[in-house]
Amino acid sequence: MRADLAAPALEDARAVAETVADPELPLLTLADLGVLRDVRTEGGTVVVEITPTYSGCPAMGVMRADLVHALHRAGFADVDVRTVLSPPWSTDWITAAGRRKLTAGGIAPPGPAPTRSAGPVPLQLGPSRRTAECPQCGSTDTEEVSEFSGTACKAMRRCRACREPFEHVKEV
């Protein structure tokens, strides 16, 4: 066990936390997804901050358990995983590496998130204006099949060029 947590140890802890995969998108790490907000030390404790993608994200408990487990195995005895709710997670926080891994895994990465303005949220009654490139053939001629998919953060689309269905991380 590590007695002190000097700067090199903090870097180690951060590196360990950054290897932990997202339970629902295991091709990405929590760091790739932008869910891992901070790793720091407070006294001898490694404090990790994570934020849920959606309010109902059922994976928060697993993320917390995976982080604690990974850091314990790396020799950090004292680990505190905290939830932060504000500012709310945005798909803009998915890293460039995360976006490449999504595409390689057959999932279209999100475009820029819509501007978050104060005041009433305007109705959107037409078909979604989102666009996405087919991760299989690269065509931009794709259509949305459903705004909801296997996880809260994805929509279902279909490529009109190669006819393959695919998932798209929707912009929030």
Partner 1 sequence: MVHEETVYDALDSAHGGEGQWAFGTGFDEPLAGVDTTVPAGVEPADLGAYCLMLGDDALVLAQRLTQWVTAAPELEEEVAIANTALDLLGQSRLLLARAGSVGVLGRSRERATASIPDEDALAYFRDAEEFCSTGLVEAPNGDFGSTMARLLVAATVRLAVFARLRDSRDPMLAAIAAKGVHELAYHRDHAARWLLRLGDGTPESHRRAQAGVDAVWPLLADLFSPTDVETRLAAAGVAVDPADVRAEVRGVLTEVLTRATLDVPGWPADVPPRGRTGVHSAELTVLLAELQGLAREHPAATW
Whole-number Å distance between alpha carbons of 9 and 3: 10
Amino acid at 55: S
Nearest to 52 by CA among 67, 64, 70: 64
Whole-number Å distance between alpha carbons of 161 and 45: 53
Question: Cβ 107 to partner 1, closest distance in Å?
Answer: 16
- Number of residues binding to partner 1, judged by CB under 8 A: 49
Residue 86 lies near partner 1 (rule: CB under 8 A): yes
Residue 40 lies near partner 1 (rule: CB under 8 A): no
Cis before 109? omega within 30: no
Choose, by CB under 8 A, the member of 1, 3, 96, 118 that binds partner 1. 118
Choose, by CB under 8 A, the member of 15, 83, 104, 140 that binds partner 1. 83
151 bridge partner residues: none
List residues binding partner 1 (CB under 8 A). 19-21, 23, 26, 49, 52, 54-62, 64-66, 68-70, 73, 80-89, 118-121, 123-125, 145-150, 152, 156, 172
